[in-house]
Amino acid sequence: MNHVLVTGGAGYIGSHACKALRDAGFIPVTYDNLETGWQDAVKFGPFEQGDLLDRARLDEVFAKYAPIAVMHFAALSQVGESMKEPGRYWRNNVLGSLTLIEAAADAGCLDFVFSSTCATYGDQDNVVLDENSEQHPINAYGASKRAIEDVLRDFEAAYGMRHVIFRYFNVAGADPDGEVGEFHQPETHLIPLMLDAIAGKRDALTVYGTDYETPDGTCVRDYVHVCDLVDAHVLGLKWLKDDKGSRVFNLGTGSGFSVREVIDHSRAVTNQVVPYVDGDRRPGDCTKLVSGSTRAKAELGWTPTRSTLETMITDAWKWHQTGHYDS
């Protein structure tokens, strides 16, 4: 059986990955402690509740399903929180991932697809980032992800564990079929926060920082549609199965948009006023993060088809109106 263990499969990106895996002929097995995920999002394969730090539970799941690979999304991921509670991030993200990697190696599951982040690069203004850019994370979230990348390289040297690492930029949008989407408690991502404000679920969107060295003073990010992102993860899994070796790929479009530009696009897509107020910068936020990589396109054959702001906001708005797990 082509089981793939998907950690964090009840979360935003993980649930979309499970659908993409199912559509590609694999059987995704969601492993999630439901701390930030939603059991209602598990629709495309078996569910096993458990924590990354629970080695005995992981061993049970590896023995039960004998997965051919791991796709690892589970992590704490709030930059601001990681600045205030670094120990929690190092314990959960790094120690949890180490426990998972050890369990996979002992089970003979040696193909590993890892969800990393562009936050490993830190704040490199006026630098278009590719896979060879220096990594200087400025918060515990990015630092924890970089540490896991190092762990995977050591396990390849020791055990032959092959890995594909995806460092991706800001993920947005939702499943266009409306089966799964983005929903966090608390919500921290720009587009769903903005849609909440449009829908009257919060008084206003707060724009964190208006004094960045950008054309309009707000920080700039590269946005990629969640469906395009998970398509790349399936391609990464096939890359490993084709014995092409370990590889790092950036996932972004190469186009950066400021917060004010996203607000303007949202106003156009929804035909609604976007209530917002200006606020102070958040600790740990970078000025600009934009991918300059074409490696995923050239080597994986990855072609994002939904990663325009209009499409991402349209899909997110559709989900926002119809699909929340708490409804």
pLDDT in tens, 188-239: 789 989 898 998 888 899 999 999 999 999 999 999 999 999 999 999 999 9
CATH node for 190-221+254-322: 3.90.25.10
- Predicted pLDDT of residue 243: 96
CATH of 3-171+223-251, one of 3.40.50.20, 3.40.50.740, 3.30.9.10, 3.40.50.720: 3.40.50.720
Instruction: Give the pLDDT confidence of 53-112 residue by residue, as tens digits.
Output: 999 999 999 999 999 999 999 998 877 788 899 999 999 999 999 999 999 999 999 999
Q: How many CB atoms lie within 10 A of CB 81?
A: 18
The CA distances from residue 88 to 84, 171, 180, 264, 299, in Å, are: 9, 23, 28, 36, 36
The residue type of 167 is: R
Going by C-alpha positions, the residue among 263, 240, 47, 83 that lies closest to residue 162 is 240
Please answer whether residues 1 and 27 qualify as being in contact, where contact means their C-beta atoms are separated by less than 8 angstroms: yes
Mean pLDDT over 308-312 rounds to 95
Can you give the C-alpha Rg of the chain in angstroms? 19
The CA distances from residue 313 to 47, 58, 232, 243, 266, in Å, are: 30, 37, 20, 37, 6
Indicate if the alpha-carbon torsion angle 101, 1, 115, 42 is positive or negative.
negative
What is the percentage of the chain residues whose pLDDT exceeds 90?
A: 77
Mean pLDDT over 164-184 rounds to 92
Indicate which residue of 31, 141, 168, 223 is catalytic: 141
Whether the per-residue pLDDT at 171 is higher than 90: the answer is: yes
**pLDDT classification of 287: cutoffs 50, 70, 90:** confident
What is the percentage of the chain residues whose pLDDT exceeds 70?
A: 98
Whether the per-residue pLDDT at 278 is higher than 90: the answer is: yes
SS3 at position 114:
strand
| Minimum mean pLDDT range among 47-51, 291-295, 315-319 | 291-295
- Predicted pLDDT of residue 145: 96
Whether the per-residue pLDDT at 265 is higher than 50: the answer is: yes
Lay out the sheet containing 47-49: strands in order across: 47-49, 27-32, 3-7, 69-72, 111-117, 162-168, 247-251
Per-chain mean pLDDT for the chain: 93
Going by C-alpha positions, the residue among 150, 3, 152, 18 that lies closest to residue 73 is 18
Mean pLDDT over 300-309 rounds to 94
Mean pLDDT over 136-149 rounds to 94
Residues 6+ apart with CB under 8 A from 46: 27, 29, 30, 65
Residues 6+ apart with CB under 8 A from 322: 178
Give the whole-angstrom CA distance, residue 226 versus residue 17: 9
Q: Is the peptide bond before 186 cis (omega within 30 degrees of 0)?
A: yes
**pLDDT classification of 327: cutoffs 50, 70, 90:** very low
- Predicted pLDDT of residue 122: 85
- Predicted pLDDT of residue 293: 79
- Predicted pLDDT of residue 325: 56
Indicate if the alpha-carbon torsion angle 143, 146, 148, 153 is positive or negative.
negative
Give the whole-angstrom CA distance, residue 246 versus residue 241: 11
Instruction: Give the pLDDT confidence of 232-258 residue by residue, as tens digits.
Output: 999 999 999 999 999 999 999 988 999
Ranges of each domain in the chain: 3-171+223-251, 190-221+254-322
| Minimum mean pLDDT range among 62-66, 135-139, 156-160 | 135-139
- Predicted pLDDT of residue 144: 96
Whether the per-residue pLDDT at 286 is higher than 90: the answer is: no
141 is catalytic: yes
The CA distances from residue 225 to 12, 103, 180, 303, in Å, are: 12, 31, 13, 11
Question: Which element (helix H / strand E) includes 28?
Answer: strand 27-32
Going by C-alpha positions, the residue among 256, 295, 282, 287 that lies closest to residue 133 is 295
